[in-house]
């Protein structure tokens, strides 16, 4: 059994100068491929269920699926709720077997964000579950604009919320299909000077792979959330399988052909964040 909490995998990453991929799951096919990739790379993995995933598949099913993959893997795997927006979201995930929850209070005032996150942290820690919080708002490529993390607010949030990891906004943006995001290194270093928590970057797909590697090895960023580029890899593989024979209709046969490409894509992500050989 290698079910792990977020703290279990991020504290060694912080000390060892590497990062762990928080790979966004939309269904069984990609979750299984991510677990296979992590085993092939002999690296820990964070399986993430975000709002769109939860809208498609109920949390009790996701919790069992993630834990099944973790319990049958040779590497540590975290069952993580991504972007929980209420205490109820986080409580339900804990009850469903998730080992880590992310409460997103980034749209709230700092005071409200700290208070709500601290309450969820107390609840989660009592159950042996890790918590990720967010301070500063990470925007969307075709939507809301980001609000960069204020270093002093990050210090207060880290100290008063009790979280195990802190997501920050330093130029990263959700849902970018092309790499090219510029990270605000001055803001990052100012945050690092005021807290020793493992840091998290959402919107990792927009960050060039070389930059991810550099940050993983030279900063407190220990978790990169990667979703869009993996969804694109899945879509390309499925489109290729369908186009090869338009008369095919069996979903199992079609989806089987996405497995190897998804394993390869996930291995590339994981390898770029891993510790030096």
Q: Where in the sequence numbering do the catalytic residues fall?
A: 82
Contact 87, 119 (CB under 8 A): yes
* 253 contact partners, CB below 8 Å, separation of at least 6: none
Question: Contact 156/187 with Cβ under 8 angstroms?
Answer: no
CB 237 within 8 A of CB 257: yes
Per DSSP, 122 falls in state H
Gap between the Cα atoms of 22 and 104, Å rounded: 16
| DSSP string for 245-270 | -TT---HHHHHHHHHHHHHHHHHHHH
CA distance 57 to 134: 25
Q: What DSSP line would sit under 135-149, residue for residue?
A: ESB--BTTSPPPBPP
* Residue among 175, 157, 168 at smallest CA distance from 50: 175
Nearest to 72 by CA among 83, 61, 64, 80: 64
Rounded CA separation 191/249 (Å):
52
Task: Give the pair of three-digit tokens for residue 136.
Answer: 């500063």
Helices (H), the chain: 6-16, 28-41, 51-56, 59-71, 87-95, 110-126, 151-161, 185-192, 209-218, 228-244, 251-273
């Amino acid at each position: 059994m290698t079910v792990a909490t977020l703290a279990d995998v991020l504290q060694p990453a912080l000390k060892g100068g590497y990062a762990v991929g928080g790979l966004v799951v939309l269904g069984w096919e990609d979750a299984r491929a991510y677990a296979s990739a992590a085993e092939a790379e002999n690296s820990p993995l964070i399986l993430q269920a975000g709002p769109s995933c939860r809208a498609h598949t109920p949390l009790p099913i996701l919790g069992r699926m993630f834990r099944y993959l973790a319990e049958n893997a040779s590497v540590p795997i975290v069952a993580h709720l991504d972007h929980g927006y209420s205490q109820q979201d986080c409580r339900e995930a804990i009850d469903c077997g998730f080992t880590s929850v992310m409460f997103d209070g980034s749209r709230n005032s700092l005071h409200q964000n700290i208070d709500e996150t601290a309450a969820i942290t107390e609840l989660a820690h009592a159950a042996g579950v890790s918590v990720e919080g967010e301070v500063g708002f990470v925007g969307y490529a075709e939507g809301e604009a980001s609000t960069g993390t204020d270093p002093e607010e990050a210090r207060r949030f880290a100290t008063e919320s009790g979280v195990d990891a802190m997501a920050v906004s330093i130029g990263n943006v959700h849902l970018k299909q092309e790499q090219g995001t510029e990270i605000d290194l001055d803001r990052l270093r100012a945050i690092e000077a005021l807290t020793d928590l493992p840091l998290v970057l959402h919107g990792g797909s927009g960050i060039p792979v070389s930059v991810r590697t550099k940050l993983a090895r030279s900063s407190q960023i220990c978790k990169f959330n990667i979703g869009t580029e993996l969804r694109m890899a899945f879509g390309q593989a499925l489109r290729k399988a369908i186009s090869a024979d338009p008369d095919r209709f069996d979903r199992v046969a079609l989806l089987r052909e996405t497995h190897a490409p998804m394993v390869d894509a996930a291995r590339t992500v994981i390898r770029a964040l891993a510790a030096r050989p």
